[in-house]
Structure 1
Amino acid sequence: MKKTLLATAIAGAAALAATSASAATVYNQDGTKLDIYGNVQLAYGYTDSLGSDASGSLDDNGSTFGAKGEHKINDDIVGYFKAEWEYDADEAKGSGNGLNDGDQAYVGAKGSFGDARIGSWDPLMDDWIQDPITNNEYFDLSDSGTALTAADDDSTLREGDKLQYMSPVMGGMQFAVGTNFNGEGSYSDDDEDGVRSGGDSGNISGSDQASFFAGAKYTVGGFSLAAVYDNLDQYEGNSVDGDDVGDQYGLTAQYTVDALRVAVKAERFAGEEDDTDVDFYGIGARYGYGMGDVYGAYQYVDAEDQSSYATNYGDDSFNEFNLGVTYNISSAMYTYVEYAQYDRAGDAGDGAAVGIYYGF
């Protein structure tokens, strides 16, 4: 899911007010509340492609419509839900692509015991490890999820069918544990080849696969340190011979002072086969200048020779960076410009973008 500045701004009060449009409350009575919200995101991006000329296009950039609600179960526990759908704002008329592309949906309960939920949402590795470095509008740096996609193209498995418990913050410490489960009835095997119908990689039909992921975060003042592990076992059986795909590890430290946030990251996709690991070492910063944010990040990627990452991107080491700036037009609307360079063969993926966001 492409996240926006609305979720990640750390600027001062003026900038925060300019990016925090409120959801519309449609019901709030007797301990039950229901909100609707959404956004329209459009961007013109110009990117290079390997083996072809650079091209530009005006596209939707993750426009969504959603509903969320909660109700009081007792004096300590609140039940809640969230459901969000994407649509193509650039081709809404006659495109047939209405609110039929689910983004995230989950139900849970929270209280002094912590927070427990089930459904579909972004991986913990994204939220705690990757997003503090780059969680931009159009261009992000690569990460262990990119390496996972290179090894197994069915990356949607990471977001759905999840169960997670997150503890309350205790003395600055917080932890989370969960699983991503794909049951034997999730896929069909029409081809009788051990690969799910349609020829996509994923689980072998007839086998239950459940991952285990866990993370811990410590926060004191403006400093926080987070570590996350995911064994990616929902991908076990992604090929006919049933090999595992690998594991993910991540460690991120960040420090926030006034309107400045600086974060550093070490992340690994540990491939199951020899010489298939990919390491990511990054640093990023974001500064709120009053009417928006200016941000940038640099990352060194070290991919072993036999990794799908090195094979797909034409080298075994990369120096990636991106830059961006936003400008708040109003409390619900902002525009931005971004540039990214990925150091890949043929300058693949390099580009620039300008876009606009309106949220309600």
Structure 2
Amino acid sequence: MKKTLLATAIAGAMAASGAQAATVYNQDGTKLDIYGNIQIAYYNTDTGDGDNDSSDGIADNGTTFGFAAEHVIYDGLTGYLKLEFDDIKADEMATAVDNEDSGDTAYVGLKGNFGDVRLGSYDQLIDDWIQDPLTNNEGFDASDSTSLHGDGANQQTDKVTYTSPSFSGFQFAVGTQYKGDFDSADSGVDEGGSNASFFGGAKYTAGAFSIAAVYDNLDNTLYVDENGSAESVGDQYGITAQYTVNTLRLALKLERFDSDADDGDAAVGDEFLADTNFYGVSARYGYGMGDVYAAYQYVDVGAGDFSDEIEETIDDDQERDETYNEVILGATYNISDAMYTWAEVAMYDREDDEGDGVGVGITYLF
């Protein structure tokens, strides 16, 4: 489950994170906003464990509290920050600041005519530009290359990103994640060493159509090989196209995880990480009082690269591990400008229906 502030589109003023923010200070070019939400949900999911094949319960769904500030340094240059405590349990607010799992968004930046430079912890570029347009849902999302290697939280930290302004619809972003000497215990980098990864992407927008491509070399996302050495899990990249007609948005995703793990290596979860292709399509329609949405994704584990797939020239000796058909359906209903409910059902086509489930929930924003 992704811990999101909002679904991608929720009727007008609720379409973006912080839309309900309270401005507590706005003077002399400096502005401070406070925002947040409470998210409560009920889930019933299949565990794939024989007789006891489902579990259910009421859970916090990603309650968030955040601060956003900016100030004008001079005309054309603005400094800003964002500090967000995510996944705060509704009954643990008093200890949230001490919780290592909260606060996965914390960054400072400069923006102006030159573009935007950001430093800190925030969502991955491939998440924002490639994965979220397909399913940035309330509870159930299509699988992706990040969920496959299982280290998305690490990818959010210690980054710097430059995002260009739009040049007649074209925009690009480049960045790095730097893990230094004192990060070695958490990152797996050899003690006394340091490492900088690379990620980058490009996006083109023309009217109602947009297309984006992103690459991340995952150099700080590691597994332990058969010799006990920490190595990069591989590379991830993808392309996503979107088209919007009035309140209908269509999205198409092609995503690839290129594994560097050899068969037999101990990887994330002590499982072999195979090359995997993801082919997804989704639609979201705003009906006035909320959204209805659906997504389908075909997952090909142990597949060749995209060119091999398209040209059907895969080596006859190549062994495919698994293929899956994922389907997610959902809807939201706006009770007011600050409160909405939602319901989703997901089918992931795994053995013994593992991961399939239903969820309902309510969110209040301020």
Given the two structures, how large is their TM-score scaled by the length of structure 2? 0.86
Letter in 1 for 2:332: T
Aligned to 2:85: 85
Taking the aligned partners of 1:23 and 1:327, their CA distance within structure 2 comes to 21
Alignment of 1:231-270 (within 5 A): 231-235=217-221, 238-239=224-225, 240-270=228-258
Q: Which residue identity does 1:257 align to in structure 2? A: V
2:353 — aligned with what? 347
In structure 2, the partner of 1:74 is 74
What SS class does the counterpart of residue 355 from structure 2 fall into?
A: coil
Q: Contact 1:209 / 1:236 at 8 angstroms: preserved in 2?
A: no
Aligned ranges 1:296-307 → 2 under 5 Å: 296-304=294-302
Task: Work out the percentage of aligned pairs sharing the same amino acid.
Answer: 56
Name the counterpart of 2:23. Answer: 25
Structure 2 residues without counterparts, runs of 5 or longer? 264-273, 304-319
Structure 1 residues 1-360: aligned runs within 5 Å: 2-5=3-6, 8-9=8-9, 15-17=11-13, 21-51=19-49, 52-92=52-92, 96-97=95-96, 100=99, 101-149=102-150, 154-188=151-185, 202-235=188-221, 238-239=224-225, 240-273=228-261, 276-304=274-302, 316-360=322-366
Structure 1 stretches of 5 or more lacking a match?
Answer: 189-195, 306-313
Deviation per CA, 1:155-201, whole angstroms, max 9, x where unpaired?
3220000000000001100000000111121134xxxxxxx6xxxx7
Instruction: Answer whether contact 1:260 1:287 (CA < 8 A) is retained.
Output: yes
CA spacing shift, 1:238–1:185, aligned 2, 3 Å: farther
**Per-residue displacement from partner, 1:76-109 (whole Å, max 9, x unpaired)?**
1000000001354443388x55673212000000
Deviation at 1:18? 5.5
Quick one: which amino acid aligns to residue 25 of structure 2? Y
Cα distance in structure 1, aligned partners of 2:275 and 2:69: 42
Contact 2:188 2:230 in 1 (8 A): no
* Length, aligned pairs only: 332
| Structure 1 residue 68: Cα displacement | 0.6
CA contact (8 A) 2:71 2:79 kept: yes
Q: Secondary structure of 1:168's match?
A: coil
Contact 1:42 1:58 in 2 (8 A): yes
Secondary structure in 2 matching 1:171:
coil
Q: Kindly indicate whether the alpha-carbon contact (under 8 Å) linking 2:284 and 2:291 is maintained by their aligned counterparts in 1.
A: yes
